[in-house]
Amino acid sequence: MSNPGTGSDPRGLGDESESVEPNTVDLPDELVGEEQRSINIGPGTIDPREYRPSAFASTEAESYMAVLVIESSSDAADYEPLYEESFVLLTAHSDEEALEKAREYGKQHEISYEDENHQLVTWKLKHVLEVKQLEDATFDDGSELYSRFFRNYSGYHSFEPQLGGEEP
């Protein structure tokens, strides 16, 4: 056995007649088999697959639909409040983030202005009614963006002006 540092085996593990073959080749990842992607560091290895994000830990934002109710008000004596139901598309990493973004959106769109009679009209976020993650965010023709169920059709009919009392 030769002495370390004499030009034989740089690790001092054998003589010059023993050759150490590397178990990996310097090739792009596409050309290297999955079993060859470990890094040889001697007695142990590091497998890059151990450091890949989990399939369940999504780093991509998901699409959400938020339903906001916005209310108008005025100091005018004869003013009747008007309500807007707004459906807003959002992207977020969690349900909580989507809810917070819906609230921020509603607050950012609050406005006050003078109407044609010089009366101050104010629109304010009344309520974030619902925030739902979209089942299908492909946005193809016919993709459903939002739906909800209800039992009281006459109650729905009473506030939905498009129904006009007519059945389809």
pLDDT of residue 58: 56
> Where residue 145 falls among pLDDT bands split at 50, 70, 90?
confident
pLDDT of residue 125: 97
The gap from C-alpha 142 to its chain's centroid, in whole angstroms, comes to 22
pLDDT of residue 62: 94
pLDDT tens-place string over residues 126-142: 999 999 999 887 888 88
Domain map (residue ranges) of the chain: 62-134
What residue type is assigned to position 36 of the chain? Answer: Q
What residue type is assigned to position 122 of the chain? Answer: T
Distances in whole angstroms, Cα of residue 125 to Cα of each of 3, 55, 139, 141, 146: 81, 38, 27, 31, 20
Q: Is the model's pLDDT at 154 over the cut of 50?
A: yes
Q: Which helix (H) or strand (E) holds 102?
A: helix 95-108
Q: Is the model's pLDDT at 99 over the cut of 50?
A: yes
Percent of the chain with pLDDT strictly greater than 90: 41
pLDDT of residue 105: 97
Of residues 142 and 8, the one with the higher pLDDT is 142
pLDDT of residue 88: 96
Q: Which helix (H) or strand (E) holds 74?
A: strand 62-74
Distances in whole angstroms, Cα of residue 90 to Cα of each of 100, 133, 136: 10, 9, 14
- 120-133, strands of its sheet edge to edge: 83-92, 62-74, 120-133, 111-114
Q: Is the model's pLDDT at 159 over the cut of 80?
A: no
pLDDT of residue 49: 56
* Contacts for 153 with CB less than 8 Å, ≥ 6 apart: none
Place of tokens 């498009």: 162
Whole-angstrom distance, CA of residue 54 vs CA of residue 36 = 21
Whole-angstrom distance, CA of residue 161 vs CA of residue 163 = 5
Average pLDDT over all residues of the chain? 76
pLDDT of residue 32: 56
Whole-angstrom distance, CA of residue 67 vs CA of residue 138 = 20
Q: pTM (2 decimals)?
A: 0.57
How many degrees, rounded to 5, is the angle at CA 106 between CA 100 and CA 108?
A: 100
The encoded tokens of residue 142 equal 């016919």
pLDDT tens-place string over residues 56-91: 555 789 999 999 999 999 999 999 999 999 999 999
